[in-house]
Amino acid sequence: MSKAKYKISNWKQYNQALINRGSITFWVDDAAIQTWHCKEHHGKRGRGFTFTDGAIETALMVKGIFKLPLRALQGFLDSIFGLMDVPLK
């Protein structure tokens, strides 16, 4: 017998399900919340940075510790901020 193959027809729902796999409760310091978004422009042409270097480093450390792919990391961090009622993404 061959393995059953399923064709994905709703990619938006599939991608959201992959993001939702990384849901857990976590504690974040108030100082980290205040410095999550970049408040100053880098001084060059183009759009300024959205997140600070500390925010990106924190996300990548969490990714490395829990061995998460990027979509699961996004769901993980979104669930943390959602449970804490912190308006961060």
Instruction: List the chain domain ranges.
Output: 12-23+51-89
State how far the Cα of 10 lies from the Cα of 72, in Å rounded to an integer: 18
Place of tokens 């959602």: 82
State how far the Cα of 71 lies from the Cα of 28, in Å rounded to an integer: 20
pLDDT tens for each residue of 9-63:
888 898 888 888 866 656 777 887 788 888 888 788 887 778 888 888 989 998 9
What residues are paired with 37 via a beta bridge?
Answer: 51
Supply the pTM of this predicted model.
Answer: 0.58
Which one has a higher pLDDT value, 56 or 7? 56
- From the list 14, 8, 10, 54, the residue with the least C-alpha distance to 35 is 54
Q: Which ranges constitute the DSSP H helices of 1-89?
A: 11-20, 30-34, 53-66, 70-83
